[in-house]
Structure 1
Amino acid sequence: MKTYNFSLKMITYLKIGKILVNCRHLHNSKTIGNLKNSLGLWHLDINTEIKLKIEDHWSQDVVSTPKLKDVDTYYVLPMFPYPSGNLHMGHVRVYSISDTIARFYKLSGKNVIHPIGWDAFGLPAENAAIERNILPHQWTQTNIDSMKQQLKNLSYNFDWNRELSTCDPKYYKWTQYIFLKLFEKGLAYQCKAKVNWDPVDKTVLADEQVDEFGCSWRSGAKVESKVLTQWFIKTTKFAQKLYDGLQSESLEDWKDIINLQRHWIGECNGVIVTFQMKLGNEYKSLDIWTSDPYKFIHGEFIAISKSNILLHGLKLDNSNLKCLNPLTNMEIPVYVTDNVNFAPERDVYLASPATDDEDYKLARELGIYVNKRDIILDKEKENQDAIDLAQRKCVGGHYVSSKLKDWLISRQRYWGTPIPIIHCRECGPVPVPYEDLPVELPLVEAVEPGVQTLANIHDWVNCKCPKCGSNATRETDTMDTFVDSSWYYYRFLDPNNNEKPFDKNHLSGKTPVNVYVGGKEHAVLHLYYARFMSYFLHSLGWTPSEEPFKKLVVQGMVMGQSYKVKSSGKYLHPNDVEKVGKAYKEKNTGEAVLVQWEKMSKSKYNGENPERLLSSYGSDTTKLLMLADVPPETSRRWSDATLPGVLNWQHRLWLTIRDFLKHRSSNLGKTMTDDDFKKHEAKIYDARNYYTATATYHFKYTHKLSVGISRLQSLTTALRNNVPPEVIAHSKEFELALASLIIMLSPVTPHFSSELWSGFLSAPNRVGLDLPSFDWEKSVLDQRWPKVDDHYKLSFLCKVDGADRCDMKIKSIDLKNMNQETALNMMMNEESVAKWTKSGIRRTKFESYPGCRAILYIFTHRQPKIKKDDKKLEATN
């Protein structure tokens, strides 16, 4: 009996398969021309083997990037990776997010730019090469080749023709070019600095690279304090502009990143002017900050801390220290003391006893004789006069916080961009002529593995001064890798330019970057340096706008479950741990084990290998696993527990196409009444429009891709639950909803959706061939993202002082054309809104999301409890 049933089942499948093949052949010849056929495996249940076959079948189609004519460009940029050799789950997450967003905007009719490159310089690569006794460029290139193949295996639709690598002389030539422009403008300078020194890696570390215990982030060595002559970029000159720019209307959805940037820059409540301090027979630059700029004109003496770097190694003598004030061209005395209330992070104070009572007291405490004169100042005018004079003389005069320091870019290692400066005894620091760029790293064939600094390569160091021709030496420090990554987003738009870093014409209409995707850990330093560089390049007239990035999508870390011995902190492999009751123990010792979620790391045995996921589930499922359930900004706790939901959804989608083919191939007639049929169609109509609106809102505006995916899962459920076979067989509305679902799924699972679409197109007896929403001659990847019907009613929400007061339903076509005035008038006619605005309206804001929803915010003169999110909204608007 079992054999008979099995045979009958197989015969049924074969019959259905034969019908489908025949129908597909007839249908293709009429409707879909030369479009690739599906594999035709609908009679089989979906499994990993079929998924991998599907991905192989559609592999070339999903990475093609045909350009559209006469449409806007949309620039989606993920932060480029450091080539470590292997992708980790953090890479998979960020590039799955950017790839999905890029594919969405292509379906939305944009010419999408989605480039990738390599942040290839830096200490980790050099150390890894030394450990393996190979050269850094060989190690780096091997890693690039490996990771590039992994990215291609994941089928991310990158513009590989724009690929760049920061260690390529064709790239770092232009980093050097930009450095020389900074040098010309007085924004790149060299001076002594007290620095963090890693005695193992033998290089300077930024403060952020030293942990709470004073140890190096990389080597773990105890960091030493040293005084070295270092190169700096004067980012402080742009501090006020960068601070104010955070209020720009060009910035979208920066959320708490704005506060992180503001905190880093600090309130720009003072001004810096560079004085010249006389030390022996020479003058050294001394930056002086004050919140009272008028003191730059009326200052009578300077107090300086004993720890100031300029005094390092000098015999302190208050009797002969002088400073030249560049605004008055007068020398004023300098007194060394720590008995001064210096501003935060400052160790120099400019005093004006004649105009400031506190300064007069300070002078008396220091034993400085001054006449107390009653001078009445118009401080506002004097402040502005001092600022204007400083700016005219190019000695400062720009507002900045006392805490913000200039960018220290020197690194004492080989594997980095050489600083294009030549040191001459006669001429001082001389810029390398532009025509001599790039200053290349010494030929790697001539560098022995293990070389850690350019200073050891004497044939390269020794040169002639380009100014006077005498013997000179090259600068042996290389640049911080943050310099390389501070402008790469512009080079991507003009990667083959051999005349300059980029042409402004190639940036027009493409910048600022529409969506910038990357880890939140880079939302302070990298973002600050990139913003500074963009502002600087704009000041040269090179770029159309100051801000480099319009919208940010920051993603949280991918966390893995780790196990460590409670007594020692030793990390254990999961195989060495067992659960006893509710507790965890080490198998061999029985010691108590702590279980926690931490950033994935090989050393913690809590990582996940993307290669395992690719081989076990395929790239589409891997992307779904990464994007489902959790929004991008939230930390992702990786667990195989998420697998069943995603796998089951794919199975249901597969069954939906199977049922569609089955019922469209049958001779199933209508048995239900027209009214019942229309009721089913009405439910499908409502589900299609509702889930299209909400999925679009999250794919396009919030970028909460997990929520958008959940809406597609809900639409799948609506097409499967309680839908009679004859509706599937005859309903145009069902056909429209199914086509919409497949299209909306395609940015996340392009291979799987291509197969679903091809199967969908192969069905006979289709009744929606006249639907204007689709182009049946094209693949799913060349369709247009579905839109809500004009007469479908969408949500128009009004919030008064943070509370929801009215949620109206408005036709999509009317919502699309609504402005703030119309919205306010409409809501004020609603009693639920009018009664809450009797105290008077202080301010309104209207947010329109065409085809999705609209929100009107009203803030009254009442002082209610406002939700946290609405406080942020009001504060930023």
Structure 2
Amino acid sequence: MFSYRILKIVVRRPTVFSRYKSSLGLWNHDITTNIKLDIEKYWAKEILCNKIGNKDTYYVLPMFPYPSGNLHMGHVRVYSISDTIARFQELEGKNVIHPIGWDAFGLPAENAAIERNTLPHIWTDTNISAMKEQLVQLGFKFDWNREISTCDPKYYKWTQYIFLKLFENGLAYQCKAKVNWDPIDQTVLADEQVDDSGCSWRSGVKVEEKILTQWFIKTTKYAKHLYEGLNSKSLDNWKDIINLQKHWIGECNGVVVNFHMNVSNKQRGFDVWSPDPYKFIHGQCIIMKKDNIIIKDMTLDDIQNLRCFNSITKREMLVFVADNINYPEGRDVYIACPSIDSEDYKLCLSLNIPIAKTNDKIVDKISENERAIDLAQKNNCGGYFVSSKLKDWLISRQRFWGTPIPIIHCPNCGIVPVPYEDLPVVLPEISTQETRVSKLTSFKSWQNCKCPKCSSDATRESDTMDTFVDSSWYYYRFLDPNNDKKPFDKEKLMGVTPVNCYIGGKEHAVLHLYYTRFMSYFLHSLGLTPTQEPFKKLLVQGMIMGQSYKTKNTGKYLPPENVEKIGNEYKERETGEPVLVQWEKMSKSKYNGENPERLLSTYGCDTTRLLILADVPPATSRRWSDTTLPGVLNFQHRLWITIRDFLMHKQNVELSTKNILSEKEFKEYENKLWNSRNYFIATATYHFKYTHKLSVGISRLQSLTNVLRNNIPPQIIANSKEYEKSLASLIIMLSIITPHFGCELWAGMRSAPNRICDNADGIDWNQEVVQQRWPIVDESYPLSLQCKVDGADRCDLKIEANKLNSLDLDRVLQIVIEEKGVAERIKHGILRTKYELYPNCRAILHIFTNRKAKNKLQLEKEKETFSSQA
């Protein structure tokens, strides 16, 4: 342990007026939690100051939270990630948009309010206030001027507006359907909200099947566009999310057409899917499952005389009922064309379905497929490609706390949209005596209204919208949050969308992302947005996992204090029963959660942020444990004493007058520091900017700290420009993760006498660290040009930064093919290339050869030979 009591450090404060604050001047003390908390309080305002950029706008957006009352560790992680990226982009000179809001409607708030005998809006507002305070306490630099809340009528007015646009375009419709009913939450759930065990995503109870009239959004009409859009080069770093989305949408290898059937003197519609559209013209019968919703309650006589109306041919078709055929996945209707399809011919024979005689003319299936699709689209009855398994989005929810669906039901006019000028349809006010009310049907005075068309007595729609509707377009509203004329102004989106970096949990990478992409495509089709895709880059974070304990026999979860470790086994303290230990998603019910408040009060927000980012990259699940804390605390301690040493040696007059080191030795240290500074700036920038592996970027900062602390003579610390520039660069880069701590370190460094660096070195001592420019490598520093041939590393060349930044693909190719390791591998010819330039960081050239293609072809031939022999 070093002692610094001999030389007292004098913090010299500037004698002239300046725009910056001095440090707290506590460098003689070892860093403690109390000092960290004092630092955070002292610099709280400065770290939130805006830095006006002179470059393009950068839109970084974390998924907005549900206001549950307190932040959990998942919140801390996602907003630590987004804040770090936002601060990095700001130091790079971008005009950063980093907004926050509240996904405030939904069952959790309503149920919690009922349990606490309070009102949903009061419960929600209280939680928003509490969570907002915590977000500010953590030092997250959000643009609070853009704050929105989905339960605010000023917001959901425009959700209703968008619904009406969907309705106008035939994409919002109401029909009877088999639905998943949650008996606990008393509402329906979309198929996507039921897990593989048939349980509700929310309550965990087994869902029940019911037949109800519900509202749907015809997302399937956009299925092929959404599927093909995943191949767009504009999507950056989506990686496995593309596969998740494609799997969910399914291959769009069939067409849907809406048919009609007369049931109890009412026209009922149903969809027919087929991979062979020509069947919609030449098909002879429809086959249905017995439990199809349209025929489920029919008598035997009714079933024997079924007919339906083909919307394309305008003719009736016979309908037969059978369960023992192979229906397309997710479908219970099949259209058969025995006159053309031999398999359909066999099917009809097996089911004793009479086969009508035809003129036996040969049908051109390709042209007839096109004709069927064209007719369906002209008749507005379908004709769009979709997978057989994908269903439309069920948005009805039978609960109070949600966006009212802006529809009026009239006995004369039927379904009537609420006029745009009457929006928003506001939720009725609840009295304190009505805190347990959970449905809009309870408010008759609100529900009763006049028809906008004929003025007769009518009723409002009593279902509210699924909260996924609210969160399917909020990223556009953030850009124009106060617009009271329309959802947003397209001009405000120009040059800002798609969102540069969208950050959220992997659990939302299917449903939320699918609904969001659909809504963005729809709004673009109306000409309201400049682009189809809502997000350019996706940064999907893994879950925060906690260690849980549950008894082996009963599966009951136990608090950690009720468990003891005996040898290599865990036992329940009271009973001695064996206990299973595992890592699971944090949950109060599993006693494996971590309270951010404890971390904030025990270690401070900067340490908490550093701790949650330092161990693993954002995409990896984080196993939460305090065992990694010593490394983070030691890193901060080393930074603290590095500034202490810097101040001490700068104030030592002897070091500036005596040549303890020779000129050659001094130069060697300078060269070493020059190389280290440039190397760690290049690699840290690469990970903070491009890969977003923040933990790797932090490790580079730790390595640079080690360089500055390992065997550096006092004369170098006091007199070396390279040392000063390296230390300044380190603190600037650190400030995006620990802004308060960075401000104090910077202020300490700034207070030293005889500073060497200035504006020419990219450093402005008159500004706080959060107002500096992100450091870049020197132009003469040799960066890595890596070449991979068929995925394998073949050479790694060093080229000066200023030259590498200007190289194009052709020149790079010329350079690398002269390397022996590359030349030998491209003898079979180059199939294609891909060049990745990361300015001031590195470059990678990927070469794919004909040899790889030939090997693949040879492998396929071998498989064919093996199959024929078998």
Q: What TM-score, normalized by structure 2, do the two folds share? A: 0.96
Q: Which residue of 2 aligns with 1:170?
A: 154
Map Cα deviations across residues 752-805 of structure 1 (whole Å, 9 max, x no partner): 111111111111111223533122221111111110111111111111111111
Contact 2:88/2:688 (CA < 8 Å) preserved in 1?
Answer: yes
Q: Does 1:813 align with 2:808?
A: no
Structure 2, unaligned runs of 5 or more: 857-870
Q: Look up the SS of the partner of 1:771 in the other structure.
A: helix
Show the 5 A alignment for 1:570-581: 570-581=556-567
Q: Which residue of 1 aligns with 2:843?
A: 854
Map Cα deviations across residues 576-615 of structure 1 (whole Å, 9 max, x no partner): 1111111111111111111111111111111111011111
- In the TM superposition, what is the alpha-carbon distance from 1:393 to its structure 2 partner? 2.3
Q: Given the alignment, which residue of 344, 357, 374 partners 2:329? A: 344
Q: Which residue of 2 aligns with 1:765?
A: 754
Q: Given the alignment, which residue of 573, 595, 605 partners 1:619? A: 605
Map Cα deviations across residues 50-94 of structure 1 (whole Å, 9 max, x no partner): 1111111100011122433x4211000000001100111010000
| Distance in 2, Cα, partners of 1:393 & 1:67 | 54
- In the TM superposition, what is the alpha-carbon distance from 1:211 to its structure 2 partner? 4.2
Q: Which residue of 2 aligns with 1:360?
A: 345
Contact 2:51/2:90 (CA < 8 Å) preserved in 1?
Answer: no
Q: Does 1:16 align with 2:4?
A: no
Q: Given the alignment, which residue of 543, 558, 562 partners 2:548? A: 562
- In the TM superposition, what is the alpha-carbon distance from 1:457 to its structure 2 partner? 1.3
- In the TM superposition, what is the alpha-carbon distance from 1:734 to its structure 2 partner? 0.7
Q: Look up the SS of the partner of 1:313 in the other structure.
A: coil
Q: What is the letter of the counterpart of residue 783 of structure 2?
A: L
- In the TM superposition, what is the alpha-carbon distance from 1:389 to its structure 2 partner? 2.2
| Distance in 1, Cα, partners of 2:805 & 2:433 | 64
Q: Given the alignment, which residue of 830, 833, 836 partners 2:822? A: 833
Map Cα deviations across residues 626-646 of structure 1 (whole Å, 9 max, x no partner): 000111011111111111111
Contact 1:363/1:370 (CA < 8 Å) preserved in 2?
Answer: no
Map Cα deviations across residues 420-449 of structure 1 (whole Å, 9 max, x no partner): 111111111110000111111111238711
Q: What is the letter of the counterpart of residue 58 of structure 1?
A: W
Contact 1:355/1:373 (CA < 8 Å) preserved in 2?
Answer: no
Q: What is the letter of the counterpart of residue 708 of structure 1?
A: G
Q: What is the letter of the counterpart of residue 822 of structure 1?
A: R
| Distance in 1, Cα, partners of 2:502 & 2:598 | 29
Q: Which residue of 1 aligns with 2:86?
A: 102
Q: Does 1:585 align with 2:578?
A: no
| Distance in 2, Cα, partners of 1:615 & 1:367 | 76
Show the 5 A alignment for 1:425-440: 425-440=411-426
Show the 5 A alignment for 1:269-668: 269-316=253-300, 317-365=302-350, 366-445=352-431, 448-667=434-653, 668=655
Q: What is the letter of the counterpart of residue 223 of structure 1?
A: V
| Distance in 2, Cα, partners of 1:787 & 1:320 | 79
Contact 1:271/1:293 (CA < 8 Å) preserved in 2?
Answer: yes
Q: Look up the SS of the partner of 2:536 in the other structure.
A: strand
Map Cα deviations across residues 123-174 of structure 1 (whole Å, 9 max, x no partner): 1111111111111111111111111111111110001111011111111110
Structure 1: which 4+ aligned runs deviate by more than 6 Å? 864-867
Q: Which residue of 2 aligns with 1:872?
A: none
Q: Look up the SS of the partner of 2:100 in the other structure.
A: coil
Contact 1:556/1:634 (CA < 8 Å) preserved in 2?
Answer: yes
Contact 2:66/2:104 (CA < 8 Å) preserved in 1?
Answer: yes
Show the 5 A alignment for 1:55-94: 55-68=40-53, 70-94=54-78
Q: Given the alignment, which residue of 701, 711, 721 partners 1:712? A: 701
Q: Given the alignment, which residue of 126, 144, 147 partners 1:160? A: 144
Contact 2:295/2:303 (CA < 8 Å) preserved in 1?
Answer: no
| Distance in 1, Cα, partners of 2:128 & 2:62 | 17
Contact 1:90/1:558 (CA < 8 Å) preserved in 2?
Answer: yes
| Distance in 2, Cα, partners of 1:372 & 1:381 | 19
Q: Given the alignment, which residue of 11, 14, 19 partners 1:34? A: 19
| Distance in 2, Cα, partners of 1:364 & 1:769 | 90
| Distance in 2, Cα, partners of 1:81 & 1:219 | 19
Q: Look up the SS of the partner of 2:766 in the other structure.
A: coil
Q: 1:671 to 1:654 in 2, by over 3 A?
A: same
Structure 1 vs Structure 2 CA RMSD:
1.7
| Distance in 1, Cα, partners of 2:18 & 2:220 | 62
| Distance in 1, Cα, partners of 2:198 & 2:259 | 33
Q: Given the alignment, which residue of 753, 774, 785 partners 1:796? A: 785
Q: Look up the SS of the partner of 1:124 in the other structure.
A: helix
Comparing 818-827 with 732-741, greater Cα deviation is found at 818-827
Show the 5 A alignment for 1:133-144: 133-144=117-128
Structure 1, unaligned runs of 5 or more: 868-877
| Distance in 2, Cα, partners of 1:568 & 1:212 | 23
Q: What is the letter of the counterpart of residue 492 of structure 1?
A: F
Comparing 181-190 with 658-667, greater Cα deviation is found at 658-667
Q: Look up the SS of the partner of 1:832 in the other structure.
A: helix
Q: Which residue of 1 aligns with 2:35?
A: 50
Contact 1:802/1:866 (CA < 8 Å) preserved in 2?
Answer: no
| Distance in 1, Cα, partners of 2:573 & 2:148 | 49
Contact 1:355/1:375 (CA < 8 Å) preserved in 2?
Answer: no
Q: Which residue of 1 aligns with 2:674?
A: 685
- In the TM superposition, what is the alpha-carbon distance from 1:213 to its structure 2 partner? 4.2
- In the TM superposition, what is the alpha-carbon distance from 1:309 to its structure 2 partner? 1.1
Identity within the alignment, %: 66
| Distance in 2, Cα, partners of 1:447 & 1:708 | 55
Q: 1:769 to 1:221 in 2, by over 3 A?
A: closer
Q: Look up the SS of the partner of 2:575 in the other structure.
A: coil
Q: Which residue of 2 aligns with 1:728?
A: 717
Q: Which residue of 1 aligns with 2:240?
A: 256
Q: Given the alignment, which residue of 676, 680, 698 partners 2:665? A: 676
